[in-house]
Structure 1
């Protein structure tokens, strides 16, 4: 039976993992009940990724690594992504996965020229997102949780830009027919976002005043959270048949 694979590209901070679990468990929870198997593959620990024909869908997680580090496991993963695009497997890249998808399809990723974006931010959908299977039913503007230093500097030529924030121009895009990248984290809860902000303060990445402001601005992001359930429905609808998704 075909499987939805969560490709895990790293782990959260140990303090968060003890309290909340890890990236893949957050995604699995946010997906809700599904009718197909869901299996996590740790990209850092394997050189063998699933064959496209064994996938009904793929989700690539975030990471504390940087795409530009071009680590060996990341290069293997980047080289694998085009096989999914060619086979038209529903694919969702989150944060690191978003950037890696863009690069694998001919775009560019690197450090954001304006620095990191952290906390709950407002996303605005572009007119091009109207009718998009993943984002098209969402409000014109909605809150999301984000934390990233790198970004998609240049989208692939065939990508459709879907949403942006005041800080980040390329918060969401689609490569037709069924591959999406989102810079934000639909799997984060309010508690996880707050814990990230506090952990980054402990690591000296921001001062107390900025931390307090970020914490006060954390709100629920129900529309963003719905994206993973919407993606699960897309996976169910596509149920991969070669050449059937033109």
Structure 2
């Protein structure tokens, strides 16, 4: 099964030698499920011809805001709507979660409550789990078709679904402790020091990334 990764940002240069870029993180996260991956770096204006270029799709995170006036944002939103119309399986993570909501009629904003960084607690389908997060933007108004599957005390719309073919997740199941440490070191400048310290302290605790990876894989294979 061919999964098209729509890459909307790049990892910090200092992390590339040891961790690879965002598409590499997802290939590792979803390894062992029988997928073949092709990446289109849409942030660099490289787009597929359309929804049929892959069997399923995944949109990565990004340091950019979905509401920012980048020239690649409108064609990405159009592609999202085309994938939706074609009923292809689609997964969005962090920025991907946000841009899908925006493309389908929702609102994304810089959250006045600040940042969510490091290991966070979520409720998903009435179960508790922990995942690493790194965001200030949030989906603040749901699209008409969206339904909430998961949330946290900080993020009300943390996991969304649209029909049976779109699943979006605000936190980062692809971020392990080492990568999160790299973000603390290289992209922590805008985050309050006390939150960075807490994120650092929580690196020793496990997350439920494997469980979410299995759910993402099952969604893409439907």
TM-score (norm 2): 0.92
Tell me which residue corresponds to 1:92. Answer: 91
- Preserved CA contact (<8 Å) 1:27 1:228: no
| Alpha-carbon shift at residue 204 of structure 1 (Å) | 5.7
**Distance verdict in 2 for CA 1:35–1:224, change over 3 Å:** closer
- Mapped to 1, the partners of 2:3 and 2:195 lie a distance apart of 39
| Alpha-carbon shift at residue 84 of structure 1 (Å) | 0.8
| Alpha-carbon shift at residue 52 of structure 1 (Å) | 1.6
1:180 aligned to which of 167, 187, 194: 167
Tell me, what secondary structure is at the counterpart of 1:40? strand
- Preserved CA contact (<8 Å) 2:51 2:79: no
Q: Which runs of 4+ in 1 moved over 4 A?
A: none
Tell me which residue corresponds to 1:231. Answer: 216
* Greater C-alpha Rg: 1
Tell me which residue corresponds to 2:206. Answer: 220
- Mapped to 2, the partners of 1:212 and 1:98 lie a distance apart of 26
CA deviation string 1:150-178 (max 9, x = no partner): 11011111111011111111110000121
1:149 aligned to which of 125, 136, 145: 136
- Preserved CA contact (<8 Å) 1:200 1:206: no
Tell me which residue corresponds to 1:42. Answer: 41
Q: What are structure 1's unaligned runs of at least 5 residues?
A: 130-138, 239-246
- Preserved CA contact (<8 Å) 2:108 2:138: yes
Tell me, what secondary structure is at the counterpart of 2:119? strand
- Mapped to 1, the partners of 2:34 and 2:127 lie a distance apart of 31
**Distance verdict in 2 for CA 1:233–1:211, change over 3 Å:** closer
- Preserved CA contact (<8 Å) 2:40 2:46: no
- Mapped to 1, the partners of 2:118 and 2:85 lie a distance apart of 35
Tell me which residue corresponds to 2:19. Answer: 20
Q: How many residues are matched?
A: 221
